[in-house]
Chains A and B, each alone.
Chain A
Amino acid sequence: MQLQPMAAERLSQAAPPADAAIAIDDVTLRFVTPDGHMMTAIRDFTMTVARGEFACVVGPTGCGKSTTLNLVTGLLRPTTGNVRVMGNPVTDISRDIGFVFQADALFPWRSVIDNVAAGPLYRGTPKAQAYERARDWIGRVGLGRFEKHYPHQLSGGMRKRVALAQTFINQPKILLMDEPFSALDMQTRTAMQDELLGLWSEQKSSVVFVTHDLEEAVALADKVYVLTAGPGTVKSVYRIDLPRPRVMADIRYDPKFIEIAKVIWNDLREEVQLGQCRTLQTGH
């Protein structure tokens, strides 16, 4: 059993390795709410993702999971501490980043192929080349017959496939995913998780995958970050040593998987309860 909490983050934060894909170093983020109050979204948050590593972030609702992703994109700036992506401080939205959203963020007025070609076109790739690459990516996610369809004509799972193709076509070195499959039904989600792992193993990108579903996190990740109830900080980090390639439909019956999930759940449970109590008390 190689399962143990990795060295507490406080110990490792002294020297985040220089070659890390993502290094969030002792970051606190506060913001002013519209009615003028100061809110702390996350505090003393440290996280390192190595190149090609798949990291999952789990935690109770409202603990700042999505905030961590927005720190990496540069859409949010830390109040204290610093964030580095591929060794460079985050100043603007990096071209190396791809983002898959929880909500449907496809452009409904564009057909599938126009949606997938959007990234290269925005970045100035010639039209013919952009569409050629888009066609290739649509084929890879298995939607070859649906090039000309509009998003509203597709099922939820197919739209997610389009979103994956739209993100992967930019060949992001860093892939950020914000509960991307939470709106899908069980079977579709399993299929999409397999699809994601397949694409990830080809592309060798570094992934931060935010989810509230612990089993999803354990099944996908190399490393699971458990956050405390808000303001979020890292409670513990687990390395998941399940062999790859993993098959999503089978892994949840693997005894080792079940054991790991149980251990992490024990850790997560009290935070979830705490988060729920707090939600009931404050009403938000």
Chain B
Amino acid sequence: MTAISPTADHAATRDASIAVAEGRAKARLRRRHALVIGLRLAILVVFLGLWELGADYNFIDPFFFASPSGIWQQIWSWITEGTSQGPLWLQIYVTLEETFLGFVIGALGGIAAGIILGRNRLLADVFSIYIKIANSVPRVVLGSVFIIALGLGMASKVALAVVMVFFVVFANAFQGVREADRAMIANAQILGASPFQITRTVIIPSAMSWILASLHVSFGFALVGAVVGEFLGAKQGMGLLISTAQGAFNANGVFAAMIILAVMALVVEFIITRFENYVVKWRPAPFNEQGA
């Protein structure tokens, strides 16, 4: 039996060829990245260009479907001259405030309820049917009830946002608690953890990925809650801006408000993602979408 080992002569040439191959691979990755960004931009330009041209030549009636330049003019005039209800930033601020309050209250309530029911089988069995019923009610309709009960001010919008957020977060927190690993719980128990310590150091962290996933979705829901609430009756806010534009047959205004809301949602989504990455830094890096 002889051991076979490679000779060391070729080491230098091998290293050189590896460096060349690596350089090529890196260049290929850079090119692909540039291609993706380029294609994304191209799609945007083509889409807006066709829309604008269609509006100019009356393929698309700008009275109903607006036009990119009209939307931009509308946003610009809101920024420089303010809206019919006062300055634009105030509308954004009001809507954001309602959204945030609703989001925070709804999320905290959902997490608390999810953990309590997830840890207590009897409560879960008793309440599950009611939660299913409450969840199947179209919650936006409650907006009307809240406006009647709480008035045109902030409270009714916050209440609607809370209701929109609560069930999503609750469902995920509950599921997360239920999926907590049995072996991990038994391990903590044998290492000496009390039931409260188990909840705090095992159940909540393992439900965290579920909860955080629901926060992404539910912020959008909170925004819908606030805007719909304003739509139904308000003195300030982006929803009122949309409903005023609708009343004046101002399609540009509706689209402009929609874009502002989308930007708000994207900014908050970005913040939530940063928060998530900070909280679950123990997790293996996910297989991320390229160039994101």
B201 on the interface (CB 8 Å rule)? Answer: yes
Complex contacts, B69 vs chain A, CB 8 Å = none
Whether A109 contacts B205 in the complex (CB less than 8 A), given A123-B192, A170-B191, comes out as yes
Q: Is the interface of B mostly helix, strand, loop or mixed?
A: helix
Whether A122 contacts B284 in the complex (CB less than 8 A), given A105-B183, A107-B201, comes out as no
The distance in angstroms between the C-alpha atoms of A75 and B183, with both chains bound, is 12
Complex contacts, B206 vs chain A, CB 8 Å = 109
Residue in B187, B189, B283 whose Cβ sees the most chain A Cβ within 10 Å: B187
Residue in B191, B194, B284 whose Cβ sees the most chain A Cβ within 10 Å: B191
The distance in angstroms between the C-alpha atoms of A108 and B188, with both chains bound, is 13
Residue in B189, B202, B208 whose Cβ sees the most chain A Cβ within 10 Å: B189
Whether A105 contacts B192 in the complex (CB less than 8 A), given A122-B197, A152-B282, A152-B283, comes out as no
With an 8 Å Cβ cutoff, the count of chain B residues facing the other chain is: 22
Residues 148-177 of chain A: 1 if any B CB is under 8 Å from the residue's CB, otherwise 0? 001010000000000000110010000000
A52 on the interface (CB 8 Å rule)? Answer: no
The distance in angstroms between the C-alpha atoms of A122 and B208, with both chains bound, is 21
Residues 89-128 of chain A: 1 if any B CB is under 8 Å from the residue's CB, otherwise 0? 0000101011101111111111100000011001100000
Whether A150 contacts B192 in the complex (CB less than 8 A), given A101-B187, A107-B205, comes out as no
- CB within 8 A of B189: which of A93, A104, A106, A109? A93
Q: Which residue of B has the minimal Cβ distance to A110?
A: B282
Minimum CB–CB distance for A85 against chain B, Å: 13
In the bound complex, do residue B186 and residue A99 qualify as a contact, i.e. CB atoms below 8 Å apart? yes
Q: Which residue of A has the minimal Cβ distance to B187?
A: A105
- CB within 8 A of B190: which of A93, A104, A107? A93
Residues 196-229 of chain A: 1 if any B CB is under 8 Å from the residue's CB, otherwise 0? 0000000000000000000000000000000000
The distance in angstroms between the C-alpha atoms of A108 and B284, with both chains bound, is 10
Minimum CB–CB distance for A79 against chain B, Å: 21
The distance in angstroms between the C-alpha atoms of A167 and B190, with both chains bound, is 9
Whether A105 contacts B184 in the complex (CB less than 8 A), given A73-B190, A93-B190, A97-B190, comes out as yes
Q: Which residue of A has the minimal Cβ distance to B184?
A: A105
The distance in angstroms between the C-alpha atoms of A107 and B208, with both chains bound, is 13
In the bound complex, do residue A152 and residue B190 qualify as a contact, i.e. CB atoms below 8 Å apart? no
Complex contacts, A104 vs chain B, CB 8 Å = 183
In the bound complex, do residue A98 and residue B188 qualify as a contact, i.e. CB atoms below 8 Å apart? no
Residues 172-193 of chain B: 1 if any A CB is under 8 Å from the residue's CB, otherwise 0? 0000000001011011111111
In the bound complex, do residue A108 and residue B282 qualify as a contact, i.e. CB atoms below 8 Å apart? yes
Minimum CB–CB distance for A88 against chain B, Å: 17
Complex contacts, A75 vs chain B, CB 8 Å = 186, 189
In the bound complex, do residue A109 and residue B280 qualify as a contact, i.e. CB atoms below 8 Å apart? yes
- CB within 8 A of B183: which of A98, A101, A119? A101
Q: Is the interface of A mostly helix, strand, loop or mixed?
A: loop
Complex contacts, A93 vs chain B, CB 8 Å = 189-190
Complex contacts, B188 vs chain A, CB 8 Å = 107, 118, 122
Complex contacts, A99 vs chain B, CB 8 Å = 186-187, 190
Whether A95 contacts B186 in the complex (CB less than 8 A), given A105-B181, A122-B197, comes out as no
- CB within 8 A of A122: which of B192, B280, B282? B192
Residues of B175-234 contacting chain A, CB below 8 A: 181, 183-184, 186-194, 197, 201-202, 205-206, 208
Minimum CB–CB distance for B206 against chain A, Å: 8
In the bound complex, do residue B191 and residue A166 qualify as a contact, i.e. CB atoms below 8 Å apart? yes
Complex contacts, B181 vs chain A, CB 8 Å = 103, 105
Residues 140-183 of chain B: 1 if any A CB is under 8 Å from the residue's CB, otherwise 0? 00000000000000000000000000000000000000000101
The distance in angstroms between the C-alpha atoms of A152 and B280, with both chains bound, is 12
Q: Which residue of A has the minimal Cβ distance to B185?
A: A105
Give 28 CB contacts A-B under 8 Å. A93-B189, A93-B190, A97-B190, A98-B190, A99-B186, A99-B187, A102-B183, A103-B183, A105-B181, A105-B183, A105-B184, A105-B187, A106-B184, A106-B187, A107-B188, A107-B201, A108-B283, A109-B205, A109-B282, A110-B282, A118-B191, A119-B192, A123-B192, A152-B282, A152-B283, A166-B191, A167-B191, A170-B191
Additional A-B contact list (14), CB under 8 Å, known A105-B183, A107-B184: A99-B187, A99-B190, A106-B184, A106-B187, A107-B188, A108-B283, A118-B191, A122-B188, A122-B191, A122-B193, A122-B201, A123-B192, A150-B282, A166-B191
A interface residue numbers (CB < 8 A to B): 73, 75, 93, 95, 97-99, 101-111, 118-119, 122-123, 150, 152, 166-167, 170
Closest 9 CB pairs of A and B: A105-B187, A122-B192, A119-B191, A123-B192, A105-B183, A109-B282, A122-B193, A152-B284, A99-B190
